[in-house]
Amino acid sequence: MLVYNTLTRKKEKFKPINPPNVTMYVCGPTVYDYFHIGNARSFIMADIIRRHLIFKEYNVTFVMNLTDIDDKIINKSIEEKIDSSKVSQKYVASFFEDIEKLKIKKADVYPKATEHMDEIISLIKNLEEKKLAYNSDGNLFFRVKEFKNYGLLSGKNTDDLELGSRVEVNEQKENPLDFSLWKKAKAGEPYWDSPWGKGRPGWHTECSAMSVKHLGKTIDIHAGGNDLIFPHHENEIAQSEGCFESKFVNYWMHFGFLNFQDEKMSKSLGNFFTARDILKKYSAEAIRLFFCQTHYSGPLAFSEELIASSEKGLEKISNFVEFINSKSSYGESEGVECSFDFDFFLSRFVTAMDDDFNTPQAVAAIFNFIKSANKYAVENPKLNSDFFVKAGEFIQKTAGDVLGIADFKQTNKIDQTLSHDLVNLLIEIRQKAKVEKNYSLADEIRDKLNSFGISLKDSKEGTTFKIS
C-alpha cells in the first residue's frame, strides 16, 4: 500500500508501527453547530480509508475527538443564553445522528476535551519544565522558536510567518508566533482549576493530549481537512514532540476542500449546507459516491446536480443486485459452470485503493465489473449458483464493506415494511386464536416469531413486537 504523506510530500509505502495493528486519529468536530457537507467529506473519506485498512486485514484503532469546549461554543452559549455544556451536548447528539445516517462507522473512541483535563494539564506542565512553555499572567504559551522543526508540515518559514498578517497581535506573548496552550478564564466563562489558576485548554493542546492518551506517543495515521495543516497540526507536532521527545505521527493525511462557487465551503463565509439538510434530499450512498469520484486530497466543487447524478449511478448497482436476486436460489444448481474472472476485477479495485486510496479508479472498477458481469450473464442464460454467489460477494466487499455505497446484505432482506405488516397479521391471527381459546396455536405463533428474533409483549392496550 502507498500513502501520500503531507509531511514528506510524497507517496510512501505503508508500514505500521506494530502490524497488523494500525492507530488512526482523525480531527472531529467542534460541537457548536450542525456540521456542514464539507466537514462530511473529511468524515466520510476517513471512514473509507479505515474500511479499506480493515479489508486489508489490519486491526484499526480509530479515534476521533470531539472538541466540547472552545470560543465558538462559548459564543454560542451566550447567543442562546444556555450553559456551554448544554450547547456541546446538543450538537454531540446531532453529530452522532448525522454520521449514522451517512453510513459512517463509529470510532472506537470519541474522546472529549472536557474529560481529559488531567492529561492536558500534565502535558503543559511537562512543556513548562522543558522551557518550551511560559506563563504570562495565567495564560500559557508555547515557545515556537525553541522547536527547531516548526513549519516542516506546512512548509512555512518562521521568519516569513512573523512578518505575515495572519499572526495575531498579543502583548502577552514573547513572540507573535507563540500559540496558546492554556487560556486564563474570563468572567462568566467555564473554567477548570490548574497550577496556573482557573482557565481552559487551547484547541491544539486538547488533540495532542487525547491522541497520546488513547493511541500512544507515536501513531500511524493522523488525518483531517487541509485547513488544519496550519496552524492546528503544525502546533500539535510542536507540543507533542517537544513534550515526549519522540516522533508524533508517521503518516499525515489531509482531505481537500469542498468548494462552493469557487470558495471553500465554511461557516465563517456563510456559504455552507448542513449535512442533515442535504440528507433530506439525497441518500447517504449518493453523497458517498459523489465524494468517491474525486481523490480525497483534491478540491471538489459542490453541486447538487452531481449528487443527483450519483443517485443515477447507484441505480446501476441496485439494478444489478435486483438482477442477482431475481434468480431463484442464485440460479440453477446444475447450470453452466462459471468461468467469469472475478479475481481480475477485484484485483483492479484493490490496486486502486492500495494506491493512496484512489476511490475514482476503485469506483470505475466496480462499474466495469457490473457491465462485464451483466454481459456474461446474458450470454450464459443457464449459469449455476456459483456466479451469482460470487457476484454478490464482490458487490458486498467493494461497494458495501469498503466504499459504503451499497449493501448487498440488506438488499437480500425482506422489505422492512412488508415484514412488519406480516408480523402484525400474525399477531391478529394469534389474537383471534386466543379469543377462540385456541391457546396452542397462539403459543405456537409466539414461539415461532421468537425463534426468528421477534419478541411479543402483551398488555391491556394490545400486543406489540420488537425485532432483535
* DSSP class per residue in 137-170: TTEEEE-GGG-TTTTTTTT--HHHHHHSTTSPP-
Gap between the Cα atoms of 343 and 394, Å rounded? 9
pLDDT at 169: 66
Average pLDDT for residues 237-253, to the nearest whole number?
97
Task: Report H helices in 191-299.
Answer: 203-215, 234-244, 275-279, 284-292
Element (H, E) at 253: strand 249-255
Phi, psi for residue 269 in degrees, rounded to 5: -90, -15
pLDDT surpasses 70 at 343: yes
Q: Which three cell numbers stand for residue 95?
A: 453529530
Alpha-carbon span 395 to 245, nearest angstrom: 46
Predicted pLDDT at 368:
98
CA distance 128 to 210: 19
- Give the residue-averaged pLDDT of 217-235: 97
Predicted pLDDT of residue 409: 64
Cell of 4: 501520500
Per-residue confidence (pLDDT) for residue 235, from 0 to 100:
98
Q: What span, in angstroms and rounded, lies between the C-alpha atoms of 272 and 260?
A: 8
* Mean local confidence (pLDDT), 186-211: 95
* Weakest-pLDDT range from 170-184, 199-213, 276-290, 380-394: 380-394
**How does residue 468 score in pLDDT terms, banded at 50, 70 and 90?**
low
Of 193-202, 412-421, 454-463, which one has max mean pLDDT?
A: 193-202
Residue 326, pLDDT > 80, answer: no
Lowest-confidence region among 29-33, 223-227, 260-264: 260-264
Whether residue 84 is predicted with pLDDT greater than 50 in this model: the reply is yes
| Average confidence (pLDDT) over 202-213 | 96
pLDDT at 54: 98
In this prediction, residue 267 carries a pLDDT of 67
Q: Which domains does the chain have, with CATH numbers?
A: 2-279 (3.40.50.620), 315-408 (1.20.120.640), 416-467 (no CATH)
Structure-model confidence comparison of residues 22 and 406, the more confident one = 22
Mean pLDDT value of segment 273-294: 94
pLDDT tens digit sequence for 134-149:
999 999 999 999 999 9
* pLDDT reading at 451 higher than 70: yes
**Contact at 8 Å (CB) between 309 and 287?**
no
How far from the centroid of its chain's Cα atoms is residue 273's Cα?
Answer: 18
**Average pLDDT for the chain:** 91
Percent of the residues in the chain that have a pLDDT greater than 70, as a whole number: 92
Res 274 pLDDT > 50: yes
Average pLDDT over residues 295-323: 92
State mean pLDDT over 149-165: 84
pLDDT band for position 168 (50/70/90)? low
Tell me what pLDDT residue 454 has: 86
pLDDT at 165: 41
Give bridge partners of residue 223 from the DSSP assignment: 26, 253
Does residue 118 surpass a pLDDT of 80? yes
